């Protein structure tokens, strides 16, 4: 019988699944993080097929305020109407296709006008004016209006879906929270929609979006790269993350006063949280690109936008009670803790990305037992692309 030896060529088209024994189970093969064709399929069948969190509702602070956002391969304009309702449209002029808005954010009075030939739409998307339009009485102003995108507002954020038949928001988004926390009331207690933005930091991460999700899902790395976080949450030093068990929150260390970079006291506790949620950290992954972190005095929301197979933009919001933000309280020690965690995590993802194209990673790597649940994420991605 011929024994396998180290020099035997590996078949890069085969995932390591079939051969993995016991403690180690396989990751996705390297090409899942490097192949532009796989990335394009993910954009189409994951990002464009489901609900995507695109803006903090408070960022659209009055009628005519708009945001231009990327959803997979589509550009979308999210705008607040004069009736204060948030609507979203494909950023495509119905005349000859020019993009209506190119700035990431802006303010109009009561209409969106295409800069090319001046077709003009009201904030409900209806075509209201165009050069010589009155000489074309047969033109249906609704049928030639902007193409609408499905919108939901939830926990103070605007979520959109560009698919013609959006999946159930309750299943995809709220279901993810229930799967993690056990019930929806547990997030309702934080009244996230009533909190205010105290700080936003944008990160440009040179890694595939899945490396960021996988990283967020495990804490095997916490003892190595997160010294400040493991001081605050001692159980993380053992490699087990809060999101491993339904409803489980990681408890603050006994000497820790707050979720801050040095464990010093934080700010006013959100009054509606449960006693059982006090002095605890909960983390939720809402696929494909939202992470929510809940602590007693603030909530941290990450939104990811994959822009290339090896590049992902991440926007991170720190939300506190309105009175904390209005008082001008210094939230830097609170922000600094997760900013450091982000910087440490993203550096790890960027360190991993180049190796994804190595021949050594052609069949992928391994997941240890405390990472085994990541395989379910891999199966989810693969099933979407199947
Ligand atoms: Fe917009 Fe012509 S492309 S008005
Ligand atoms: Fe981490």
Q: List pLDDT tens digits, range 369-380.
A: 999 999 999 999
pLDDT tens for each residue of 25-58: 999 999 999 999 999 999 999 999 999 999 999 9
CATH 3.90.380.10 segments of the chain: 169-385
> Left, alpha or beta for 185 (phi > 0: left; psi -120 to 50: alpha)?
alpha
- Whether the per-residue pLDDT at 12 is higher than 60: the answer is no
Atom 3, ligand 1: residue with shortest CA distance: 96
Say whether pLDDT at 5 is over 70: no
Region(s) of the chain under CATH 2.102.10.10 = 52-161
Q: DSSP for 71-92? A: ETTEEEEEEE-TTS-EEEEES-
Q: What is each CA distance from 185 to 171, 173, 182, 188, 292, in whole angstroms? A: 16, 14, 9, 5, 15
Average pLDDT over residues 187-203: 98
Helix, strand, or coil (residue 276): helix
Using pLDDT thresholds of 50, 70 and 90, give the confidence band for residue 21.
low
The superfamily in CATH containing domain 52-161 is Rieske [2Fe-2S] iron-sulphur domain (2.102.10.10)
Cα of 292 from ligand 2 centre, angstroms = 14
CATH of domain 169-385: 3.90.380.10
Q: Is the CB of 93 under 6 A from ligand 1?
A: yes
CA 93 to ligand 1 centroid distance, Å: 6
DSSP H/E element including 274? none
* Pairing relationship of beta strands 74-80 and 65-71 according to DSSP bridges: antiparallel
Alpha carbon of 50 to ligand 1 centroid (Å): 29
Ligand 1 contact, 96 CB (< 6 A):
yes
Which residue's alpha carbon is nearest to atom 2 within ligand 1? 117
**pLDDT tens string 270-312:** 999 999 999 999 999 999 999 999 999 999 999 999 999 999 9
Judge if the beta carbon of residue 129 lies within 6 A of ligand 1.
Answer: no
Q: In whole numbers, what is the pLDDT of the chain averaged over residues? A: 93
Polymer length in residues for the chain: 386
| Residue owning the nearest CA to atom 4 of ligand 1 | 117
Spatial CA neighbour of 207 closest among 291, 313, 54, 292: 313
How remote is the CA of residue 102 from the centroid of ligand 2, in Å? 34
Taking the CA of 97 as reference, the closest ligand is: 1
Q: Which of 209, 232, 214 is nearest to 289 (CA)?
A: 209
Nearest by Cα to 178 from 274, 249, 281, 247: 247
pLDDT band at 239 (very low <50, low <70, confident <90, very high): confident
Cα(99) to centroid(ligand 1), Å:
8
CA separation for the pair 162, 181 (Å, rounded): 28
Ligand 1 atom having least distance to the Cα of 117: 4
Rounded distance from Cα 97 to ligand 1 centre (Å): 6
- Residue 94's beta-bridge partner residues? none
Residue pair 277/251 in contact by the 8 Å Cβ criterion? no
| Confidence (pTM) | 0.92
SS3 53: strand
Evaluate if residue 144 carries a pLDDT over 70: yes
The contacts of residue 127 (CB under 8 Å, 6+ apart) are 94, 119, 120, 121, 133, 139, 141, 142, 144, 145
| 134-139: Cβ within 8 A, 24+ apart | none
User: What is the mean pLDDT of the segment spanning 88-95?
Assistant: 98
Answer whether 98 contacts ligand 1 (Cβ < 6 A).
yes
Q: Is 133 in the pocket of ligand 1 (CB under 6 A)?
A: no
């Amino acid at each position: 019988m011929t024994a396998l030896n180290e020099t035997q060529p590996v078949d890069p088209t085969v995932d390591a699944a079939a051969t993995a024994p016991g403690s180690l189970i396989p990751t996705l093969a390297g090409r899942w993080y490097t192949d532009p064709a796989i990335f394009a399929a993910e954009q189409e069948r994951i990002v464009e097929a489901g609900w995507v969190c695109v803006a903090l509702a408070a960022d659209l602070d009055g009628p005519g305020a708009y945001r231009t956002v990327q959803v997979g391969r589509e550009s979308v304009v999210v705008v607040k109407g004069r009736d204060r309702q948030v609507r979203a449209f494909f950023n495509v002029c119905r005349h000859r296709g020019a993009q209506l808005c190119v700035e990431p954010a802006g303010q109009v009075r009561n209409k969106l006008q295409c800069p090319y030939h001046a077709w003009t739409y009201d904030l409900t998307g209806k075509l209201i004016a165009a050069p010589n339009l009155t000489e074309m009485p047969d033109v249906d102003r609704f049928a030639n209006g902007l193409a609408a995108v499905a919108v939901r507002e939830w926990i103070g954020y605007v979520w959109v879906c560009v698919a013609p038949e959006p999946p159930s928001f309750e299943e995809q988004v709220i279901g993810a929270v229930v799967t993690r926390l056990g019930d929806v009331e547990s997030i309702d207690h934080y009244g996230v929609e009533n909190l205010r933005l105290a700080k936003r930091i944008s990160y440009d991460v040179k890694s595939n979006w899945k490396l960021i999700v996988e990283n967020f899902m495990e804490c095997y790395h916490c003892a190595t790269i997160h010294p400040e976080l493991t001081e605050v949450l001692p159980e993380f030093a053992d490699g087990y993350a809060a999101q491993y068990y339904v409803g489980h929150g990681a408890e603050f260390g006994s000497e820790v006063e707050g979720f801050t970079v040095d464990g010093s006291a934080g700010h006013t506790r959100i009054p509606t949280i449960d006693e059982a949620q006090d002095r605890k950290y909960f983390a939720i992954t809402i696929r494909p690109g939202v992470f929510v972190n809940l602590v007693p005095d603030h909530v941290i929301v990450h939104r990811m936008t994959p822009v290339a197979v090896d590049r992902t933009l991440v926007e991170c919001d720190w939300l506190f009670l309105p009175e904390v933000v209005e008082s001008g309280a210094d939230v830097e020690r609170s922000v600094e803790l997760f900013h450091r965690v982000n910087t440490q995590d993203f550096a790890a993802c960027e360190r991993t990305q180049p190796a994804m194209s190595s021949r050594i990673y052609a069949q992928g790597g391994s997941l240890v037992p405390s990472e085994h649940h990541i395989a379910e994420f891999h199966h989810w991605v693969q099933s979407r692309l199947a």
